[in-house]
Chain A
Amino acid sequence: MKFIKDIFEKTHPLVQKGAKYQWLHSVHDGFFTLFFVQKNTSKSGTHIHDYIDLKRTMGMVVLALVPALLFGMYNIGYQHFIAIGELASTGFFEIFLYGLIKVLPVVVVSYVTGLGIEFVFAQIRGHEIQEGFLVSGMLIPLVMPIQTPLWMIVVATAFAVIIGKEVFGGTGMNIWNPALVARAFLFFAYPAQMSGDSVWVSLKGSDKLIDGYSGATPLAEAAAGKINFSVADAFFGFIPGSIGETSTLAILIGAVILIVTGIGSWKIMVSTVAGGAVMGIILNIFGGDNVFMSLPFWQHMIIGSFAFGAVFMATDPVSGAQTEKGKWIYGFLIGIMAILIRVLNPAYPEGMMLAILLLNTFAPLIDHYVVAGNIKRRLKRAVISRQTAN
Chain B
Amino acid sequence: MSETIKLRKGLNIKLKGSSKAEIETLPVPHTIALKPTDFPGLTPKLMVKPDALVKAGDALFFDKYHPEIIFAAPYGGRVISVNRGERRKILEVVIQTDEKAGSVDFKKIDPGSLTGDEIKELLLKSGMWPLIKKRPYGIIASPGEKPNSIYISTFDTAPLAPDYSFVLKNEMGTFQTGVNVLSKLTAGKVNLGVTPGSPFAAIKNVVVNTFEGPHPSGNVGIQIHNTSPINKGDVVWTINVQDVLFIGRLFETGKVDFSKIIALTGSEVENPKYYKTVLGTPVSSITEGKLQKPDYKQRIISGNVLTGSRIKIQNYLNFYDQQITVIPEGDEYEFMGWADPGFNKFTASKAYFSKLFPKKEYVLNANLHGGERAFVLSGQYEKFVPMDILPVHLLKAIMVNDIDKMEQLGIYEVIEEDLALCEFACTSKVKVQEILRDGINVMIKELG
Q: List the B side residues contacting A4 at CB < 8 Å.
A: 335
* Total A-B pairs, Cβ < 8 A: 213
CA distance A171 to B375 in the complex (A): 9
With A44-B434, A171-B376 already in contact, the answer to whether A51 and B366 are too (CB < 8 A) is no
**Contact (Cβ within 8 A) A50 B335:** no
B45 to chain A, nearest CB (A): 28
1/0 per residue A280-319: CB within 8 Å of B? Answer: 0000000000000000000000000000000000000110
A33 with B427: in contact, given A322-B379, A322-B392 (CB under 8 Å)? no
Chain A residue, CB-CB nearest to B328: A41
Q: B350 touching A47 by the CB < 8 A rule?
A: no
Let me know if B120 is at the binding interface, CB within 8 A: no
The CA-CA distance from A374 to B409 in the complex, in Å, is: 8
Does any Cβ of B come within 8 Å of A320's Cβ?
A: yes
Q: Once the chains are docked, how many angstroms separate the CA of A358 from the CA of B135?
A: 43
In this assembly, does B65 line the interface, its C-beta being within 8 Å of a C-beta of chain A?
no
Contact A37 B334 (CB under 8 A): yes
Are the C-beta atoms of B426 and A50 separated by less than 8 Å? yes
Q: Are A48 and B366 in contact (CB under 8 A)?
A: yes
Q: Which of B72-80, B97-105, B298-306 contacts A (4 or more CB under 8 A)?
A: B298-306
CB-CB under 8 A for A49 and B376, given A1-B335, A378-B410 = no
CB neighbours of A193 from chain B (8 A): none
Interface contact B377-A317, CB-CB below 8 Å: yes
Q: Interface 1/0s, chain A 220-234, versus B by CB < 8 A?
A: 000000000000000
The CA-CA distance from A249 to B307 in the complex, in Å, is 46
Chain B 214-236 against A: per-residue CB contact (8 Å), 1 yes, 0 no? 00000000000000110110100
Which A residues touch B379, using CB under 8 A?
265, 317, 322, 324, 327
Q: Scoring B residues 348 to 374 as 1 if CB is less than 8 Å from chain A, else 0, what string do you get?
A: 111110000000000011111111111
Other-chain residue from A33, A46, A51, A321 in contact with B345 (beta carbon distance below 8 A): A51
The interface size bin for chain A is 35 or more
Q: A102 an interface residue at 8 Å Cβ cutoff?
A: no
Determine whether A371 belongs to the interface, using a CB cutoff of 8 Å to chain B: yes
Partner of B301, one of A47, A173, A265: A47
Indicate with 1 or 0, residue by residue over A1-43, a CB within 8 angstroms of chain B CB atoms: 1001100000000000000000000000000010111111110
A112 → chain B closest CB, angstroms? 21
Enumerate A147-183 residues with CB–CB distance to B below 8 Å. Answer: 169-173
Q: Which residues of B contact A44 (CB under 8 A)?
A: 431, 433-434
Residue of chain B at shortest CB distance from A367: B393
Instruction: Kindly report which residue of chain B lies nearest to residue A383, judged by CB atoms.
Output: B231
Known contacts A37-B337, A38-B333, A262-B351; decide if A49 and B429 are in contact (CB<8 Å).
yes
How far does the alpha carbon of A59 sit from the alpha carbon of B327 in the complex, in Å? 29
Q: List B contacts of A132 (CB < 8 A).
A: 376
CB-based contact B306/A47 at 8 Å: yes
Q: In the complex, which residues of chain B have a beta carbon less than 8 angstroms from the beta carbon of A1?
A: 335
B392-439 contacts to A, CB under 8 A, are 392-393, 408-410, 416, 420, 423-429, 431-434
Do B231 and A52 touch (CB < 8 A)?
A: no
B286-319 contacts to A, CB under 8 A, are 299, 301, 305-308, 310
- Decide if B26 is an interface residue (CB 8 Å cutoff): no
Residue B121 interfacial (CB < 8 Å): no
For the complex, give the distance between the alpha carbons of A60 and B431 in Å: 24
Given contacts A36-B333, A41-B329, A262-B351, contact A51 B369 (CB under 8 A): yes
Closest beta carbon of chain B to A48's beta carbon, Å:
4
B residues near A33, Cβ cutoff 8 Å: 371
The distance from the CB of A258 to the nearest CB of chain B, in whole angstroms, is 10
**Is A52 in contact with B366, judged by CB distance below 8 angstroms?**
no
Asked if A53 contacts B370 (CB within 8 A), the reply is yes
Cross-chain contact of A130 among B228, B305, B373 (Cβ < 8 A): B373
Q: Is B112 an interface residue (CB 8 A)?
A: no
B433 touches A45 (CB 8 A): yes
B342 at interface by CB-CB < 8 Å: yes
The contact sample of 6 A-B pairs, CB cut-off 8 A, is: A47-B325, A50-B425, A51-B337, A52-B348, A60-B351, A381-B231
